[in-house]
Amino acid sequence: MKLLDDTKNRIIAWDILRGIGILCVVLGHITYNDNLDRCINAFHMPLFFFISGALYKNKDGIVKKQFKNLMFPYFVFAILSFLYWYFIELRFREKHIGSNAFDQLVNIVYPMNMEGSYEFNAVLWFLPCLFVTFLSYHILHKLHIGITGDLIVLCISIVLASLIKIKIPFFISEMFCSLPFYICGSLFTKYKKQLDILSSSTNNNIAIGLFTIIIAFICVIIFNVIGNMKGNFYSHSYFVFFICALFIVFGLYLSVSSIKHQIVFQWLGMNSLCIMLIHEPIRRIITKCYSIFFSLNVDYVRESIIHSILLLLATILVVSLFTMLINKYAKILLGKF
């Protein structure tokens, strides 16, 4: 099977976690349910930054490779999404106050972080933010700061993430929020062998992981922990959000680290970039068609957990078909050349 060949040199746990993460990304853009949205936002973006940090390797040409893997597809799909939004969707969607086509176009090449940024494809902020985060960590790594330096930068980033409330172009303000998770991911890979908890039995790992996740989510709900990394908004402090997210991410890793094979989540994880890039316009079409077919109000559909999950399944099915077509005929769009 092709999937097994592709995963031969991959770490299955990270692919499964990315698969879980991308499902949460899509569901988060579908649902209007407050509790579900709060739980998703509590960890899904930190999870991707953590995984990226865990997979960081200081190799020759890494900056060029990361630019090709992140920024090339960013520009391609930003332009494609903008054209679709401007010439087709804008005729049917309500325009947001403070947003116009010129600002949206300029924002592609000069991210201004204005309100309503990437109205045509909300997820696009993640790619330049991840690239800036990677670049910052890579520069620090080149300075050979070691674990002590990593911990110092980690603490400084947490403080700055809590203090900086203004929008800085090219996602510099968001970078201070994402860098701590990136550093934690890198440190986790370097020192996970020293963590005795990971050498225990599979059942113990799963039990500890699920317990950690449940406790963290209970805290998120009870204390109304709201986090929005794109908007750099946190209901309490960034530090509270950081701790809750880190516990959930660690719990998820423990829960899946012993899984040897899971074809669905692995495939979703391996194709998470493409799914992230194309799902937003598609889910808007599916949501509208769904509400018309069942004669339901769009807001009601998106507030319902059951309807949101059904929309998630429909969106993932359609997006997966497009992803397979892109993988077969247009890999260059994803920077694979």
Q: Please state the rounded mean pLDDT for residues 32-40.
A: 93
Under the banding of pLDDT at 50, 70 and 90, the label for residue 56 is very high
Asked if 125 and 111 touch (Cβ cutoff 8 Å), the reply is yes
Asked if 299 and 239 touch (Cβ cutoff 8 Å), the reply is no
What integer pLDDT is reported at residue 259 of this predicted model?
84
Q: Is the pLDDT of residue 213 over 70?
A: yes
| 48-62, 120-134, 226-240, 314-328: least confident range | 226-240
Q: Please state the rounded mean pLDDT for residues 14-43.
A: 96
| 170-184, 186-200, 250-264, 303-317: least confident range | 186-200
Q: Is the pLDDT of residue 8 over 90?
A: no
Q: Please, what is the average pLDDT of the chain?
A: 89
Residue 16 identity (one-letter amino acid)? I
Helix then strand then coil, % of the chain, to nearest 5: 75, 0, 25
Q: Is the pLDDT of residue 195 over 80?
A: no
Under the banding of pLDDT at 50, 70 and 90, the label for residue 75 is very high
| 8-17, 25-34, 264-273: least confident range | 8-17
What integer pLDDT is reported at residue 95 of this predicted model?
59
What integer pLDDT is reported at residue 262 of this predicted model?
86
What integer pLDDT is reported at residue 298 of this predicted model?
94
Position with higher pLDDT, 228 vs 130: 130
Task: Quote the DSSP letter at residue 96.
Answer: P
Long-range interactions of 146-151: CB distance < 8 A, separation 24+: 147/187, 147/190, 147/191, 150/183, 150/186, 150/187
Write the pLDDT tens digit of every residue in 137-181.
999 988 888 889 999 999 999 999 988 878 888 888 899 999 999
Sign for the pseudo-dihedral over CA of 84, 87, 92, 94 = positive
Residue 233 tokens read as 């908004």
Q: How many CB atoms lie within 10 A of CB 101?
A: 14
The pTM of the whole model exceeds 0.85:
yes
Write the pLDDT tens digit of every residue in 314-334.
999 999 999 999 999 999 999
Asked if 25 and 123 touch (Cβ cutoff 8 Å), the reply is yes
What integer pLDDT is reported at residue 170 of this predicted model?
84
Position with higher pLDDT, 264 vs 111: 264
Q: Is the pLDDT of residue 18 over 50?
A: yes
What integer pLDDT is reported at residue 260 of this predicted model?
79
Distance of CA 204 to the CA centre of its chain: 28
